Structure 1
Amino acid sequence: MTIGISGPVDLNLIACDLGTVDLPDTNGFPLVSHLVNALLKRGYKVIAYTNSGHIEEPVILRGTNITVCIAPTKPQPGRRFFRYEIQELASLMQQHPADVIYAFWSYEYAWAALNSGIPSIVSIHDIARKIFFTQCDVFRFVRLLMNKVVTWKARHLVANSSYTYNQLSASLKEKSVIINNFFTPDLEQKVNKPLRKENVIVSVTNGFNTRKGIPMALRAFARLRKDFPALEYHLLGVDMEPGGLANTYAMQHGLEQGVTFIGPLGHDELIQKVANAKVLLHPSVEESFGMAVLESMVVGTPVVGGNKSGFVPFLLDNGKAGVLCDVSSPDHIAAAVAKLLTDDAFATKTADGAYRFVQDNFSEEVVIGQHIKLYEAVRSLYRSEGKAAPVIEAKAY
């Protein structure tokens, strides 16, 4: 079976030689590349469909059992409802067809897969409605409409968590299954676990807005500094760079003391910084899953997250694998972080419990089998003309 993966592929994370030194920059998301690698490792042929704003014509890369099809993009795609991007991706899918396509997010990558005519599965990784309500702008309205069209057109949906599944309408639930995100077995091998943690707390987030919660986290850190004057706060991700939106906000409100604005990093460097920190503070008010939380749990850094922040409470085993708090309150956030900073035994117990929990529930070995079973079911369905779709019970794995 040849499996198509449509989404933001980070080419630098693909675990094979793609035959070129100068790989074009793409809109990469590590989980997409990890899925590609997991399928290759199990002997499947993979065709990855992605795009780049740094090319003018499609680029085709080939490696052992993998073909990567990269479509060009144009500036300001939201103004055009991503029509150009959808058309270019769908064209590549038709020229380089797979037996079944698994598409990440319910937007342009999925819309292109549905237009290709190839049996497709749409993986929902966020709640467009909730994002629009917290980031009410034209771009998010376009995304909301795209999500409506894609989820309506799709015959097969995957929710990346039980929380995401529970946000769907009754009609969408009928054609959905739950397959959680996962972490790769080599994640621990990428980090050198420190003998002693740095006197640092860290947040990993992409985007500076009220939904991501960084303004509240900065206020909480200012309170923490009163009791822990040597403590540092490192901010990683998009908009967290020096001079970026988070930095500007902090300076405007006198909250920059002790804060290091780092910004985006390569995945290996980022996860090492998380492993070195005493606490990962995840102040997001809503998450469909929470990959930063999951990876922190794997590398042994205890997590503080929101007690009503989407899937985060479930990912933290309802407080058994992390510390939950009200992320709308700087005082509550500060108290939760302080609990881990002042009690080494509690911090170690929390980190150890988190590690066991994610190994049992979110490892690649646990999750990839569910993916393959679904791909085979969808391919069989489309090969059996006139037969009804198999009923796959929605459950949280």
Structure 2
Amino acid sequence: MTIGISGPVDLKLLACDLGSENLPDTNAFPLVSHLINALLKRGYKVIAYTNSGTITEPLVLHGHNLTVCVARTKPQPGRRFFRYEINELKNLMQQHPADVIYAFWTYEYAWSALKSGIPTIVSIHDIARKIFLTQCDMFRFVRLIMNKIVTTRARHLAANSSYTYSQLSKSLKKKTVTLNNFFTSDIEDTVTKPEQKENYIVSVINGFNTRKGVPLALHAFAKVREAFPDVNYHLIGVDMEPDGLAHAYAKQHNLEQGVKFLGPLVHDNLIQLVANAKVLLHPSREESFGMAVIESMVVGTPVVGGRESGFIPHLLDHGKAGLLCNVYSADEVAAAVKKLLSDDAFARDVAAYAYRFAQDNFSEEVVVKQHLELYESIISKYYPQRVRKETALEEGNF
């Protein structure tokens, strides 16, 4: 079985020598690369389809059991409904076909896979309608239309959490399964768990807007610091860099004290900072999953998250694997953080339960097995003669 993975692949995270030291910059989401690595680790052949704005010709890279096809992009793709990007990816898929394609997000990576004619599973990782309602601009409108077209045309959908599934229409639910996001099996090997936590809390958030909750989190931290004047707050992610949007807001509202604006970081550095923190504050008001939360659970840092923030309550086992609060209230957020800061034994108990819950439900071993079962079921529908032949060979009936 040759598995195609279409999405924003971080080439530098791939556990495979692609025969080139000068890998192009690509749109990147770590989970896509982690899934590819997990499949390679289990001996499967993988073809990855991604794109880059830094190449002048389509690029095909080869490694052991892995082929990476990199398509070109052009500036301002939303103005063209990503037509150029979709056709570039589709052409590479047809030139280098897989047996089945698992496509991340309901936008250009999935649309191109559907147009390729190859059996495709479209993975739903966000709720386009909700995002558009909170970020009402032309780009998000284009994404909303793309989402509608892709989910309607797709025969097979996979929601990344039960929350994402719950937001779908009845007609879409009929062709959707739930495949949770997962954390990698080697995440614990990349961090050194501290004997004693350092005196700061941390948030890993990409995007400074009301939906992500950082403005309120800054106000909540000011209240935390009234009780714990020596504690600091590390902000990691896009828009969290020095003199970025979050920093400008903090200056404007006199909320800079004790806050370190770190911006985007290499994942290994990011996860070590999370492991060293006393609390991960996740102020987002809506999450289809919550990768920062699950990784914090795995590295032993207790989490504060939203009581009604999409999948977060489920991820935190309804308050057993972390503290849930009203993330619309700075007072409630501050109270939850202070509860963990004031009781080390309680914080350790919460973190220990969270670790076990994460291992049992969201580990690579658990989730990738579900992926493989889905891929095989789709292939058996589209290639029944080949499946019967392979079964006969395995049984010696030839």
| Shorter-chain TM-score above 0.5 | yes
CA distance in 1, matches of 2:218, 2:274: 18
> Which residue matches 2:99?
99
**Any stretches of 5+ residues in structure 1 without a counterpart?**
386-397
Letter in 2 for 1:39: L
Does 1:11 find its partner at 2:11? yes
The alpha carbon displacement at 1:22 in A equals: 1.0
Once structures 1 and 2 are overlaid, which stretch shifts more, 277-286 or 251-260?
251-260
> Which residue matches 2:310?
310
Give a deviation string over 1:338-367, Cα, whole Å, max 9, x none. 000000010000000000000000011111
Letter in 2 for 1:252: Q
CA distance in 2, matches of 1:58, 1:276: 42
Helix, strand or coil for the counterpart of 1:57? coil
Letter in 2 for 1:201: I
> Which residue matches 1:294?
294
Helix, strand or coil for the counterpart of 2:111? helix
> Which residue matches 2:180?
180
Once structures 1 and 2 are overlaid, which stretch shifts more, 35-44 or 50-59?
50-59
Give a deviation string over 1:69-92, Cα, whole Å, max 9, x none. 011111111111111111111111
Matches within 5 A, 1:147-158: 147-158=147-158
CA distance in 1, matches of 2:225, 2:57: 52
> Which residue matches 1:133?
133
The alpha carbon displacement at 1:28 in A equals: 1.0
Matches within 5 A, 1:70-149: 70-149=70-149
> Which residue matches 1:195?
195
Taking every aligned residue pair, what percent have the same amino acid on both sides? Answer: 75
Does 1:224 find its partner at 2:193? no
> Which residue matches 2:379?
379
> Which residue matches 1:342?
342
Helix, strand or coil for the counterpart of 1:201? strand
CA distance in 2, matches of 1:382, 1:83: 27
CA distance in 2, matches of 1:56, 1:81: 21
Letter in 2 for 1:292: A
* TM-score of the pair, normalised by structure 1: 0.96
Letter in 2 for 1:29: F
Helix, strand or coil for the counterpart of 1:183? coil
> Which residue matches 2:213?
213
Give a deviation string over 1:36-63, Cα, whole Å, max 9, x none. 0010011100000001111121111110
CA distance in 2, matches of 1:265, 1:61: 26
* TM-score of the pair, normalised by structure 2: 0.96
CA distance in 2, matches of 1:34, 1:136: 32
Does 1:364 find its partner at 2:330? no
The alpha carbon displacement at 1:233 in A equals: 0.5
**Any stretches of 5+ residues in structure 2 without a counterpart?**
386-398
Matches within 5 A, 1:213-252: 213-252=213-252
Letter in 1 for 2:297: M
> Which residue matches 1:20?
20
> Which residue matches 2:393?
none
The alpha carbon displacement at 1:216 in A equals: 0.5
Letter in 2 for 1:382: Y
Helix, strand or coil for the counterpart of 2:272? helix
Letter in 1 for 2:75: P
Helix, strand or coil for the counterpart of 1:33? helix
Letter in 2 for 1:239: D
The alpha carbon displacement at 1:300 in A equals: 0.3
Helix, strand or coil for the counterpart of 1:300? coil
> Which residue matches 1:36?
36
> Which residue matches 2:320?
320
> Which residue matches 1:392?
none
> Which residue matches 2:160?
160
> Which residue matches 1:69?
69
Give a deviation string over 1:117-143, Cα, whole Å, max 9, x none. 111000000000111111111111111
CA distance in 1, matches of 2:53, 2:233: 33
CA distance in 2, matches of 1:263, 1:145: 31
The alpha carbon displacement at 1:226 in A equals: 1.0
Helix, strand or coil for the counterpart of 1:143? helix
Runs of 4+ in 1 over 3 A off after TM superposition: none
The alpha carbon displacement at 1:205 in A equals: 0.9
Letter in 2 for 1:373: E
> Which residue matches 2:333?
333
Helix, strand or coil for the counterpart of 2:103? strand
CA distance in 2, matches of 1:120, 1:383: 13
Give a deviation string over 1:260-311, Cα, whole Å, max 9, x none. 1100011111100100100000000000000000000000000000000000
> Which residue matches 1:388?
none
CA distance in 2, matches of 1:237, 1:56: 29
> Which residue matches 2:58?
58
Once structures 1 and 2 are overlaid, which stretch shifts more, 166-175 or 221-230?
221-230
CA distance in 2, matches of 1:55, 1:216: 40
The alpha carbon displacement at 1:382 in A equals: 1.3
CA distance in 1, matches of 2:266, 2:83: 30
Once structures 1 and 2 are overlaid, which stretch shifts more, 197-206 or 376-385?
376-385
CA distance in 1, matches of 2:130, 2:19: 41
CA distance in 2, matches of 1:330, 1:76: 37
> Which residue matches 2:263?
263
Helix, strand or coil for the counterpart of 1:210? coil
CA distance in 2, matches of 1:255, 1:352: 32
The alpha carbon displacement at 1:384 in A equals: 4.1
CA distance in 2, matches of 1:245, 1:91: 39
CA distance in 2, matches of 1:270, 1:54: 26
